[in-house]
Amino acid sequence: MTTVGILGGGQLARMLALSGAPLGLRFLVMDTEPDACAGQFAPLLVGDYRDERALAEFASRVDVATFDFENVPAESAQWLSERVPVFPNPRALAVIQDRLAEKTLFRKVGVPVPEFANVGSREELDAAVARIGTPCILKTRRLGYDGKGQFRIRPETGATADAAWDALGAQAQTVGLILEAFVPFDREVSVVAVRGRDGEFRTWPLTENWHVDGVLSASLAPAYANDALTATAFDHARRLAEELDYVGVFALELFCRDGVLLANELAPRVHNSGHWSFEGAETSQFQNHLRAVLGRPLGSTSMRGHACMLNWIGELPDADAVLRVAGAHWHDYGKSPRPGRKVGHATVRADSPTELAQSLQRIGAALGRQTQVAPVIARLSGA
Ligand code: AMP
């Protein structure tokens, strides 16, 4: 009997546990919160990720360890890896946790990124703004996600460097700050990929993503992209995975402007933009992540037809209105509603773009969420 340990007990751990059940796997999830939603399906160890006693208990009860979020302290991942196999490896995690180290690595392996500069002081912010120009975005180097810990500098709207420093300056000496050029992208895409212990590398079809207030709202797979762009995106992902000796699933988020790709960030875990693969692909990102970390054969990442994922943020809409639609699948994460919180999603599958657009139209109308489905329908309709 193999037990997979997961640090972090949110919806990603929950979907990993659900997907691992057919493989006969057992799970142990560790989280700081006693009501972590993965605990509804797997034994939950409540503890602090820096507490060596809790980590030692976790290590003694699992055969392999992985993560459902990237901000597990790198030292804790390292400590664990001296006792039990940990995938992805702690070095990869440490690089990805720091936007500066991450972007520096992207450049090193030839993956283009927006202009960026480290910001350690108020003077450095002014120098960086002068060099990079406006608009630009000041971000925390560590611990930011879903658009949190970010300030967009647009002096003409009053969002000046002074305002950015008031908002984030205090964090320059704690988590660090980075200034990035603002990319006026046409679209955002992501590569969800998996690399096995033996180095085998596979990608799911390129996915297009729409964000609202920095949080993913909808994903469409396959993305409407030409073969050259898709091949470039996959090649970027492969080079990063090889450089990091990465094992497991990750997502590479990319901005696309005039046919050129610029990397935003890499998420070292199963990713929201790959949730559609649960029903939409031959093998989901969740099951392939487990297969990868266990050194088992990877499954096909191919898909039939088209899939769209809609995120439910804050609260769940009416499930039955979605379930009534052919090809629609419902995911309730078992979390209590809270503004801004990801509480569930739906995946809609169809054989043709027209059918998918029709199903999304029905869901948007039934839930009063036309604005959420509109950009996806526009893309499917060739707009
Ligand atoms: P992040 O937390 O870095 O993934 O940012 C969340 C979202 O903010 C991204 O998916 C983009 O929609 C937007 N964003 C972040 N960085 C930039 C940038 N340099 N230029 C334009 N939009 C950005």
Strands 64-67 and 3-7: parallel
- What whole-number distance in Å separates Cα of residue 375 and Cα of residue 91? 38
What CATH superfamily classification does 187-381 receive? Answer: ATP-grasp fold, B domain (3.30.470.20)
115-181 and 187-381 agree in CATH topology? no
Ligand 1 first shell, C-beta below 6 A:
114, 137, 144-147, 180, 182-183, 188, 211, 214, 253, 264-265
Q: Give the rounded distance of the alpha carbon of 208 from its chain centre.
A: 13
* d(CA 234, ligand 1 centre) in Å: 20
**CA distance linking residue 238 with residue 269, whole number of Å:** 15
Residue 336: count of CB within 10 angstroms of its CB: 9
Give the residue whose CA is nearest to atom 1 of ligand 1: 147
Q: How far apart are CA 190 and CA 206, in angstroms?
A: 6
How far apart CA 38 and CA 21 sit, in angstroms, is 13
Nearest CA to ligand 1 atom 2: 147
Which of 264, 269, 311 best tests ligand 1's pocket when mutated (most atoms within 8 Å of CB)?
264
Nearest to 242 by CA among 74, 111, 79, 63: 111
Q: Give the Å distance between the CA of 208 and the centre of ligand 1.
A: 14
Strand segments (E) across 32-75: 44-46, 64-67
Which atom of ligand 1 has the smallest separation from the CA of 185? 21
Cα of 350 vs centre of ligand 1, distance in Å, is 30
**Which residue's C-alpha comes closest to atom 19 of ligand 1?**
182
The alpha carbon of 218 is separated from its chain's Cα centroid by a whole number of angstroms, namely 13
d(CA 17, CA 286): 8
Q: Which of 370, 140, 90 is nearest to 246 (CA)?
A: 90
Distance from the CA of 332 to the center of ligand 1, in angstroms?
A: 27
Q: What is the pLDDT of residue 143?
A: 86
Which amino acid residue places its CA nearest to atom 7 of ligand 1? 214
Residue nearest to atom 18 of ligand 1 (CA): 182
Atom of ligand 1 nearest to the CA of 139: 3
Q: What is the reported pLDDT for 363?
A: 98
DSSP 315-345: S---HHHHHTSTTEEEEE------TT-EEEE
The atom of ligand 1 lying closest to the CA of 99 is 3
- Where in the chain are the domains? 3-86, 115-181, 187-381
355 Cα–ligand 1 center, Å: 31
Greatest alpha-carbon pair distance for the chain in Å reads 61
- In this predicted structure, what is the pLDDT of residue 146? 66
Q: What is the model's pLDDT at position 144?
A: 76
CA–centroid distance, 365 to ligand 1, in Å, is 29
Q: Can you name the CATH fold of 115-181? A: Dna Ligase; domain 1 (3.30.1490)
Structure tokens at 283: 């093998």
Domain 3-86 is of which CATH architecture? 3-Layer(aba) Sandwich (3.40)
Q: What is the pLDDT of residue 214?
A: 86
Nearest CA to ligand 1 atom 5: 147
Distance 96 CA to ligand 1 centre (A): 16
- Closest atom of ligand 1 to 216 CA is 10
> Which atom of ligand 1 is nearest the CA belonging to 145?
2
pLDDT (0 to 100) of residue 51: 96
- Identify which of 40, 1, 76, 331 has the alpha carbon closest to the alpha carbon of residue 29: 40
pLDDT at 148: 78
Which residue, among 76, 65, 75, has the nearest Cα to 269 in the 3D structure? Answer: 65
Amino acid at 287: Q
Q: Whose CA is nearest to atom 10 of ligand 1?
A: 214
User: Which atom of ligand 1 is least distant from the CA of 137?
Assistant: 19
SS3 of residue 233 by DSSP? helix
Q: How far is the CA of 62 from the centre of ligand 1 (A)?
A: 36
Q: What is the pLDDT along the chain (383 residues), one digit of tens a residue?
A: 999 999 999 999 999 999 999 999 999 999 999 999 999 999 999 999 999 999 999 999 999 999 999 889 999 999 999 999 999 999 999 999 999 999 999 999 999 999 999 999 999 999 999 999 999 999 999 987 666 789 999 989 989 999 999 999 899 889 999 999 999 999 999 999 999 999 999 999 999 999 998 899 999 999 999 999 999 999 999 999 999 999 999 999 999 999 999 999 999 999 999 999 999 999 999 999 999 999 999 999 999 899 999 999 999 999 999 999 999 999 999 999 999 999 999 999 999 999 999 999 999 999 999 999 999 999 999 86
Residue 285, phi-psi category: left (phi > 0), alpha (psi -120 to 50), beta (remainder)? alpha
Tokens representing 2 are: 């193999």
Ligand 1 atom closest to Cα of residue 180: 19
Q: How far is the CA of 370 from the centre of ligand 1 (A)?
A: 24
